[in-house]
Structure 1
Amino acid sequence: MNVSIKIYYLIWVFLTVLLSPPLTSCAQHRNKETISINGKLEYLTNEDSVNFTMYDSQSCTITSSPTLKTTRRINDGKFNFVIYDIKNPHHLDIGLPMSDGSSRSTRFLIEPGDSISISYIKDDFVFEGKGSTKYSVANTIYKSMLKIGSSKSSILDKMKRSDSLAMRCFEVLELNKHNLSKEAYEILKMDLIADITLRKLIHPLKYHSLSNEEVITVLNNYENPTWNRKLENEIKFSKSLTYSFQYVYFLLEEFKYYFCQKNEETYSAKKCYSYFYRTYSGVQRERIIFYLLKYSINGTENTDELVDRALLWFKNPKYRQEILDFRRRSLPGVTAYNFKLTDQNGKTRHLSDFKGRVVLLDFWFTGCKNCIDAHPYIDSLRTLFKNRDVAFISINWDKTKNTWLKSVSSGLYTATTTTVSTINLNTGNTGDKHPVVKNYIAGSPGAPTFRLIDKRGKLLLNPKDPRGDKGVDMAAKIEAALK
């Protein structure tokens, strides 16, 4: 080898070594993208299992399906769960068996690099390892949340008690702030604000569990220490907002059921769109309005104009595609999805079998308390429209046939028998992943969900949940469709 070639070779070797990353950096990168959760609970047997359901907090899909759902069997009281290639915060539901035979599901915030060990000491879960502070805080908050709104005193006393519990939760978060990443702290704070205010204030207003007098008292005399416009302004520019889907959902619900009522305004999706478009900007505004359209696109209002406006400025291509896809199959006037399902007698049914009749679809699952609460109103409508061209189709998404049939027989969720005007259907072992659910429900499958279809098989504007107005809107929309 001549001298010049040797020199070039040495230079090449030198540059290769100099510019190559250290061997440890790849391993470090992999560790940062991995989450490990293991536990040893002495009371568990090999018959037990732990359920893990993970949600991408920045998911753009309109169905908001879990990105991962799995079960780990117990082996000698131990379990282990590892997730690879995690690049941003997620939310993880962990379903753990309890020592008394019951089960408990708790939602945790997880970050790349977490390495958690779970044990059970003195009747409580203990979390140790890298990132464990988030889990300990979430566990403390979970136990406090169970007490929110449980008092039977006056409405203002009930609110004050809830506020006292809430402030303790915020204190726990603040005390542990130095052991949390800035992002984790902000996300946990937003999740906490959302969870507390939804439980103690928004849901009672939404589901009419307060008397008219209590509503007036709350709107005129209650000052919320855990949420106000000043706090909203402090948070609105945080990038972490895009990771807390609970907080985004809360913002929309708060505007609808508190802000509008307090200011004696009638809610509309258009008014909500204008408010958040005006008061937010950037990715935060896009995230909020995407979810507004997600929850409104097959709601009780025509949102076609709002969708067109949003598509002019949406930058996220996934948001655009999801909205376009769902609009193509879910807006009023679109031909309704022609499902194929089996009724309780084993007969195959299609939506097309009911052409020439107005159809009300009622989606539910066993254990859904809201479905039980809504059923008496649906039952009254069945009586009201008896012997008219209306089909009441109950669609259940229990995966187990026996569970479904037992619930049908109970009469709590639907009529006990399939007749000419009342049809009980089930999605089989696909559960809420069946195409009928995907095609009729925008967002995470929730129940009860109602869809109205005209005599030609076209989608109509959705009726309001009958729990809110005792079925008045639903009856009016069915009557109008019969003409």
Structure 2
Amino acid sequence: MKKFFLTVSVIFFFLTAYSQKSTDILIEVSYSSLQKDTITMLYQNNAWAATPIRNKELADPTANNHFSIQSDSIGKFIYFSLQKKDDSYLLVNYIAEPGDSVKIFVNRDGLIFRGKGSAKYQCRYDMDKIARAFPFFNSPRSYHTENKDVVLDSLYSSFYPVSASNSIKHVEGAKNCSNFVLEAYRDQISSLSYYVLKADLYGKSEKQILSSINSSYNVFGSDVTLKEKRRIQNTLVSIYLKKDKQSFNEIPDSLLAYSAGFLDFKTYQLGRSEANFSGAISPLPNPDKIYSGVEEIYENYEGILRDRLVTHYLLKSHKRLKNGSAEMATALKFVNDLECISLLGSLNNSTKPGSQAYNFSLSDITGKIRTMDGFKGKVVLLDFWFTGCTGCKVLAQRMKPIIGSYKNNKNLVFISISVDKDTVLWKESVSKEIYTNKGSIDLFTEGLGTNNPVVKHYGVTYYPTLILFDKKGRVVTTSVPSPENQKSKEALLSLIDKQL
């Protein structure tokens, strides 16, 4: 009987899909009566999986979870996610190609995919199950409330190399098994899906390994000596360099350029410095020259891969680059793809020095509505954060003495905007003063989180993000020094004082 109803549902689905263009994307989610939920579809055109400027949402007003995307807005393909009413996800960054007509059946045992193009969905779903079978372990961290700092427990210091080796084994084991699943589906999916899924898999795995070891590379307990720290760091570098180097050569550049996994990995890898793990394993070809991420991309890639990689890199990283405006200007000189030029231009116009601030309208902790225009005549240092953000905790504690030093200056305002969606959670975090300080004005994004217009306007994808505005409400810089040490603290104070 269950099989009969499934068959009838599939037939009905295709009958209702008949009126759609053959190149449109049609996706429907069907729940069993015991599990019914309301779904929102999130996607970006032309495979921009991590581009907040292009983020789109589809919500079915009939609550039947039936979504249709017209072919003229798709591009090569799209990445889409299905978000449930409680903000958890049913699917994350799945590939949909023009012409897909897929029905997703949700039951207690998992998901079943039926229809045209459904094989790649099932393939990705099976690959995800493999990934869950190989849990990814980060190095042990803790937040010390007394020291108000994030550290790795010093008891684990001697086990860093073992932890790193195990992380590599876990990730590569999951990757190899997932790749086996992908090969089994190769004849059932398009060439585009096959190569993009492979690039995503490789890229995600490499980023996981880098992220895991990088977290162990710089954060140590206070009782670890400098000599021991250097020994551990050298061992971590040695372990990574001995592992098999992942090759992307089998994937055509024309498809690699559209892989979110590959672009994310390369962007993470490019965010290096002499002090972090990525810098240690990727020595610069000319130590006497300071290479920017944009310059490295220009020298090592060509065509659409170069254009999309540099666009992705700047969209994700421009807020934390020391010379973000200069790198943006360099990129705009050589990028040829019209869509990339448009994306970079939009971002550049909203963040370049001198551009007018976005006039947000957000509520503070008392419920009072605050607008950016209401702070004209004052210098504003704005930061974006969310509950659970480790870097945000660290920044808040480092900013505490700085905010305190300006407490009597009425010409300067510190504003903290949270992208939390839960009001109660936000208020609890503010009251505990872990992510913010008493001297700052705390604002809430009205439950919209990263979809709030002010977050989208500035293309915030990295947390915490700092932006400085002058007294006329114009952007001074999005590359605000984070007070990590005395030198950067002095640079921040100097930057603020120049505007007062």
TM-score of the superposition, structure 1-length normalised? 0.76
> Residue in 2 aligned with 1:22?
none
Deviation at 1:73, TM superposition (A): 6.9
> Residue in 2 aligned with 1:179?
188
Write out aligned runs for 1:205-354 (5 A).
205=214, 211=220, 212=229, 213-223=231-241, 227-228=245-246, 231-235=247-251, 237-257=252-272, 259-265=278-284, 270-332=291-353, 334=355, 336-337=357-358, 339-351=360-372
Q: Does 1:359 align with 2:380?
A: yes
Instruction: Let me know the Cα RMSD of the aligned residues.
Output: 3.9
> How many residue pairs get matched?
440
> Residue in 2 aligned with 1:462?
479
CA 1:308 to 1:29, structure 2 compared with 1: closer, same or farther past 3 Å? same
Is residue 27–residue 67 contact of structure 2 (8 Å, CA) maintained in 1? yes
CA 1:50 to 1:208, structure 2 compared with 1: closer, same or farther past 3 Å? farther
Is residue 148–residue 200 contact of structure 1 (8 Å, CA) maintained in 2? no
> Residue in 2 aligned with 1:110?
96
Deviation at 1:475, TM superposition (A): 5.9
- Using the TM superposition, name which of 283-292 and 310-319 deviates more: 310-319
Q: What is the aligned counterpart of 2:443 among 425, 433, 447?
A: 425
Q: Distance in 2 between matches of 1:310 and 1:168?
A: 38
Q: Distance in 1 between matches of 2:34 and 2:63?
A: 11
Q: Distance in 2 between matches of 1:267 and 1:464?
A: 23
Q: Does 1:396 align with 2:418?
A: yes
Deviation at 1:256, TM superposition (A): 3.1
Q: Does 1:450 align with 2:469?
A: no
- The one-letter amino acid of 1:217's match is T
> Residue in 2 aligned with 1:194?
203
Q: Does 1:93 align with 2:114?
A: no
Q: What is the aligned counterpart of 1:135 among 121, 128, 138?
A: 121
Deviation at 1:91, TM superposition (A): 0.8
1:198-240 deviation digits (Å, cap 9, x = unpaired): 2222354168676545543232222476753xx23443x4211
Q: What is the aligned counterpart of 2:25 among 11, 22, 34?
A: 34
Deviation at 1:119, TM superposition (A): 3.4
SS at structure 2 position matched to 1:428: coil
Deviation at 1:64, TM superposition (A): 3.5
- The one-letter amino acid of 1:94's match is L
TM-score of the superposition, structure 2-length normalised? 0.73
Deviation at 1:275, TM superposition (A): 2.2
- Using the TM superposition, name which of 106-115 and 151-160 deviates more: 151-160
1:442-466 deviation digits (Å, cap 9, x = unpaired): 3x64433222345665513523566
Q: Distance in 1 between matches of 2:310 and 2:62?
A: 41
Q: Distance in 2 between matches of 1:461 and 1:452?
A: 7
> Residue in 1 aligned with 2:173?
164
Q: Identity over aligned residues, as a percent?
A: 25
Is residue 378–residue 412 contact of structure 2 (8 Å, CA) maintained in 1? yes
Is residue 106–residue 142 contact of structure 1 (8 Å, CA) maintained in 2? no
Is residue 35–residue 107 contact of structure 2 (8 Å, CA) maintained in 1? no
CA 1:267 to 1:322, structure 2 compared with 1: closer, same or farther past 3 Å? farther
- The one-letter amino acid of 1:70's match is A
SS at structure 2 position matched to 1:30: coil
Larger Rg: 1
> Residue in 1 aligned with 2:146?
none
- The one-letter amino acid of 1:89's match is F
- Using the TM superposition, name which of 323-332 and 366-375 deviates more: 366-375
CA 1:268 to 1:124, structure 2 compared with 1: closer, same or farther past 3 Å? farther
SS at structure 1 position matched to 2:477: coil
Unaligned runs of 5+ in 2: 1-17, 141-161, 221-228
> Residue in 2 aligned with 1:64?
53
Deviation at 1:294, TM superposition (A): 3.0
Is residue 149–residue 162 contact of structure 1 (8 Å, CA) maintained in 2? no
Deviation at 1:370, TM superposition (A): 5.2
Q: What is the aligned counterpart of 2:397 among 355, 367, 376?
A: 376
Q: Distance in 1 between matches of 2:382 and 2:100?
A: 44
Is residue 418–residue 445 contact of structure 2 (8 Å, CA) maintained in 1? yes
CA 1:368 to 1:65, structure 2 compared with 1: closer, same or farther past 3 Å? farther
Deviation at 1:384, TM superposition (A): 5.8
- The one-letter amino acid of 2:56's match is T
> Residue in 2 aligned with 1:9?
none
Is residue 316–residue 462 contact of structure 2 (8 Å, CA) maintained in 1? no
